Structures are given as structure tokens and as C-alpha cells.
Amino acid sequence: MIRVALAGERGKTGGAVAAFLRAAEDVDYVGGFGSDTDAGDFLAQHGPQVLVDFTQGPAARPLALAAVAAGAAPVVGSTGMSAEDVDAIEAACGQAGLGGVVAPNFSVGAVVMMWLAEKAAPYFDSVEIIEAHAATKLDKPSGTALATAKRLGGDPPIHSLRLPGIVADQEVVFGLAGQTLTIAHRTTSREAYGPGVLLAIKKVFQERRFYRGMDSILGLD
């Protein structure tokens, strides 16, 4: 059993992931906390081996570093992190001999969608990205859309929608003379993040390796 804690449990995504972890047979879910809790005290009291983080970007780096200092591998799903933030977390994990992962999206379908889009890109003249999220999502474009654009190269246009009734959708639309190709991923509930998070927890705990994204964890590299 892997002892796992969750930062951001009170958020919509965090709450769904917490429910998934509670039901997982090979996880001992030791609890979650929000922004009004001292992370260091919580980690010292509960002793998790992995800390899953679904908070907002500015809190992610200090939380991950606090986790490493407490001997817990960070599994970070927060968006809005800089390359410097990720570098700092990776360096801390390496010094502590811990695994970790920072990923823009833990949905298996979304990760495969980005991988397929990257494979398709060389065969088309143009590409644009359409991403849609709930109206409450603060960042625009989404971290997934930015990660997709980076993988495609050439700074493709990104169109962002923020509307009630949507969880998280993305389309990558390619164009060539007389034809288009659309690679799309639809999220019907926030349960979609659970399987990827659980797989990441097992990988970073067992292999003590740092991952930038889910591709290597899914064997797509």
C-alpha cells in the first residue's frame, strides 16, 4: 500500500481524484487539505509517501518542495507552472532520491490525443487548436492546449472557450488541400483524471524517477 495525500481536495477536480484514491485498492489515502492548512504540518502528521497536488499554479512549487522535504514524491497536476518551477522540483527530487511528475493533464485520453496530434502534424499544411473548459477555469489557454502547441511547433493558433456545462474538451484540427483531420478528446466527468493519477503514483513511487508529463509513464516515448 502506498500512503497518498492530496493538496486541493476541496476543488472540483481534487474532490473527484480524492474519491478515486479512496476507492483504489493499492492506495492508503491518508487525507487531503486546502490552502488554509499548513502543508508542512500536515505532511509531518500524516507521513504520506506521495503527495498529489491539484492546487493553483503559484502554490504548486512550494507544495512540491515541501513534499520532497518531508520524503513524499510530488505528483503535480497544477497548471500555470514555469519551466523554472519544474526544474526546481526535478532538482529537489533528484537530491532527495525521490520520484516525481509534473503533467499538464493526467487524463489518459488527453495524453494520447496530444501524442497522436504530434504524429499527424508532419503530414499537414496547417493546424489549429480548440479547447473548451468550464466557465470557472481561470487560466486561458489551458495548460493542455499550450503543451499541445509546443509539441506541434510553429506556434499554432489556440481558440479558448469558457462555458458552463463543459468539463474539459480539446480538438486539434489539421488542414490540407481538400481535407481536414480532427483529433478530439472529450471529458464527460472529472473521474477521467483518476486512472492517470493512480498510474503516476505507482510509477514515481516504484521507480524513483522524475517525469515531465505522462508520455513516458504510458510508454508513448
Instruction: Give catalytic residue positions.
Output: 133, 137
Strand pairing class (100-102; 210-212)? parallel
79: DSSP letter: S
Three-class secondary structure of residue 214 per DSSP: coil
Q: Of 217, 212, 201, 208, which is closest to residue 83 (Cα–Cα)?
A: 212
Three-class secondary structure of residue 207 per DSSP: helix
Contact 162, 140 (CB under 8 A): yes
